[in-house]
């Protein structure tokens, strides 16, 4: 395999949902290359079809047209080569943390149980959950659940990690700590990752490559190379370079978000609601 080539290629992918009354195009002619051992962050206005994109790459849904290639081979259905880390935790509540982590390898039986056990224990150590191995997910805090879920994904050594706003719903402090933790993990392993988010700060902090999606139907509006030194910490967001990237990304996003309001004929309503809100706060 040539290392310089993209690991995953999306070629003119389209996806629409058809109901009896209307056809709703979510993604249209979207093309994107995901480089190996890089963090590609996808950001877009809310409701633009980011989750649909993840579902397509994961193989939960099929594109209506276009192709998704992993190392040149078309993607067919879900596989452990492309592990998804979901928006809300998707740990099985009836299995304890350890059983959750070994769920995949145990089913696929590619390795001996001793090997699986050893790796699970190493991973538990890495995500700082060794003591909690026998606990059930609902007994853990939100941050711990997300770390357990990362471990469950990593044990399958996926070629590509698909992260669908994985830290959403955490409180501000846990959110930041999870970002730090995830950043460190990525910088250690360099596991190719597609990270979907709707927060610009998070995007700049994590990304090597930042893909900005347009409003629906989603297309890649721009791809920015985020050339900030690694290892990174939250501090890097205060640098002028990061600030410049942020400005650039926000400008593009703002344009797209605005289209959303105009298309639905909402700008006046929006402004009205906004000014009311302002009035209440002051």
| Site residues for another protein per CB under 8 A | 58, 60, 77-80, 82-84, 86, 88, 90, 92-96, 103-104, 107-108, 128, 131-132, 134-141, 143-144, 152, 156, 173-174, 177
138 DSSP 8-state letter:
G
Cβ proximity to another protein, 156 vs 197, nearer residue: 156
Q: Shortest Cβ distance from residue 274 to another protein (Å)?
A: 34
CB 9 within 8 A of CB 30: no
- Which H or E run contains 32? strand 23-34
3-state secondary structure of 198: coil
CB 134 within 8 A of CB 97: yes
Site of tokens 């310089």: 4
Chain centroid, CA 76 distance in Å = 20
Q: Shortest Cβ distance from residue 22 to another protein (Å)?
A: 22
State how far the Cα of 145 lies from the Cα of 154, in Å rounded to an integer: 14
Cβ proximity to another protein, 103 vs 261, nearer residue: 103
Cβ proximity to another protein, 148 vs 253, nearer residue: 148
Q: Shortest Cβ distance from residue 6 to another protein (Å)?
A: 21
State how far the Cα of 264 lies from the Cα of 116, in Å rounded to an integer: 52
Q: Shortest Cβ distance from residue 89 to another protein (Å)?
A: 9
Cβ proximity to another protein, 188 vs 272, nearer residue: 188
Q: Shortest Cβ distance from residue 79 to another protein (Å)?
A: 7
């Amino acid at each position: 395999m040539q290392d310089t080539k993209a690991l995953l290629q999306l070629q003119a992918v389209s996806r629409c949902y058809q109901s009896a009354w209307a056809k709703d195009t979510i993604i249209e002619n979207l093309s994107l290359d995901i480089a190996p051992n890089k963090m590609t962050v996808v950001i877009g206005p809310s409701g633009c079809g980011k989750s649909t994109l993840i579902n397509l790459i994961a193989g939960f849904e099929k594109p209506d047209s276009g192709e998704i290639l992993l190392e040149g081979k078309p993607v067919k259905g879900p596989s452990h080569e492309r592990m998804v880390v979901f928006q809300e935790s998707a740990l099985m509540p009836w299995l304890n943390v350890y059983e959750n982590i070994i769920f995949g390898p145990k089913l696929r039986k590619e390795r001996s149980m001793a090997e699986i056990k050893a790796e699970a224990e190493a991973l538990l150590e890495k995500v700082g959950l060794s003591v909690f191995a026998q606990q059930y997910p609902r007994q853990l805090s939100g941050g711990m659940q997300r770390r357990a879920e990362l471990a469950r994904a990593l044990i399958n050594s996926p070629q590509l990690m698909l992260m669908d706003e994985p830290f959403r719903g955490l409180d501000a402090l846990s959110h930041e700590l999870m970002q730090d933790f995830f950043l460190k993990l990525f910088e250690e392993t360099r596991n190719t990752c597609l990270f979907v988010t709707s927060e610009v700060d998070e995007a700049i902090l994590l990304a090597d490559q930042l893909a900005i999606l347009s409003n629906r139907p989603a297309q890649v509006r721009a791809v920015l190379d985020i050339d900030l030194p690694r290892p990174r910490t939250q501090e890097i967001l205060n640098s002028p370079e990061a600030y410049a990237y942020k400005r650039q990304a926000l400008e593009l996003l703002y344009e797209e978000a605005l289209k959303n309001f105009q298309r639905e004929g909402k700008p006046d309503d929006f402004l009205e609601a906004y000014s009311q809100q302002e009035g209440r706060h002051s």
